Amino acid sequence: MKSRIAVVAIGGNSLIKDNDHQTIQDQYAAAQETCLHIAYLVQLGWNVAITHGNGPQVGFCLRRSELAAEEVPESPLHICGAETQGQIGYMLQQILHGEFQQRGFPQHVVTVVTQVVVDKNDPAFTDPTKPIGSYMDEKTAKRRVAEGWQVREVEKGCWRRVVPSPKPVRIVEEPVITRLLKDGFVVITAGGGGIPVVEDKDGCLEGVAAVIDKDRVSALLGNALGARLLLISTKVDKVYINYGKPDQKAIDVMNVSTARRYLKEGHFGAGSMKPKIESAITFLEKGGKQAIITSPEKLTDALISKAGTKIVPDSH
């Protein structure tokens, strides 16, 4: 196994760039660009584990299930998570295989359908906040509540299902991922943050209706693997303070203490940059050497400090 391990967390925009480009063909085209940079990372001598978002794809899966409910049984959320891990993994495997063939690399790519243990007593289960699935009218919302869903009125007359977003505790397949990396595979894993499962006293697992943050799982995975680098792709090329304001400022490099100060000052949105910064801090405080946040098209430049924001330990 190569001595350097990198976890590459692919954001949703690496697969679906906007609402006008959501077809499978569009997703292949978007993923192609990101995979070029991942292939370059492998070429530089890194052992690579890839995580990815799956929010839109899970939404599509749920919507298809709802529309076909009179013909076939509906799919629960955790099953949609498993389905989309396979779907997206297949796409990335195929694209990366082609890239490696063209470059004459011996590497093979494999997808691991990944379960992530969460605490059934996590406070998130009493305060679900993550909207998923289709918009509903009041009648449908009441019916779904009677079926056990939790819904929230997101705008007047429109409801959506909400589910908890608990913290990841343990990646069930981590020993398998470690072995595959040791044997030289590029591993696609923990798609969409992993399939959330709870564990009973006998060690048996059961899927739950929840969504785990992909970047938090990426940090957890990186630390479990002893990775040196956490590379997070997102919509922006750098991290900014005062983002969207006339005095916004891009950050090239910051240490953990500075990142914590900016978090405390409220510079990073809860639904966007905040979990990425928090995940980078966790990764670095538990042994990681550096985290980089940038856009998909800037991944290669970020590796050589020509783009992106680098976050380093205070001792760096």
Task: Specify whether 214 is catalytic.
Answer: yes
B/e letters for 56-88, b = 16+ CB within 10 Å, e = fewer, are bbbbbbbeebeeeeeeeeebebbebbbbbbebb
Task: Specify whether 286 is catalytic.
Answer: no
Task: Specify whether 222 is catalytic.
Answer: no
Using CA atoms, how far apart are residues 316 and 305, in angstroms rounded to an integer? 15
Angle formed at CA 268 by CA 263 and CA 272, multiple of 5 degrees: 135
Task: Specify whether 156 is catalytic.
Answer: no
Catalytic position from the list 13, 47, 54, 223: 13
**Strand, helix or coil for residue 189:** strand
Catalytic position from the list 12, 133, 192, 194: 12
Catalytic position from the list 55, 214, 222, 223: 214
Distance, first Cα to last Cα, the chain? 26
Residue 234 in tokens: 């997102």
| Contact status, residue 76 vs residue 206, Cβ threshold 8 Å | no
Q: Is 20 exposed, middle or buried (0-12, 13-18, 19+ CB in 10 A)?
A: exposed
Catalytic position from the list 81, 223, 276, 308: 276
Catalytic position from the list 2, 17, 59, 130: 130
Using CA atoms, how far apart are residues 41 and 300, in angstroms rounded to an integer? 8
Task: Specify whether 276 is catalytic.
Answer: yes
**Residues with a known catalytic role:** 12-13, 130, 214, 276
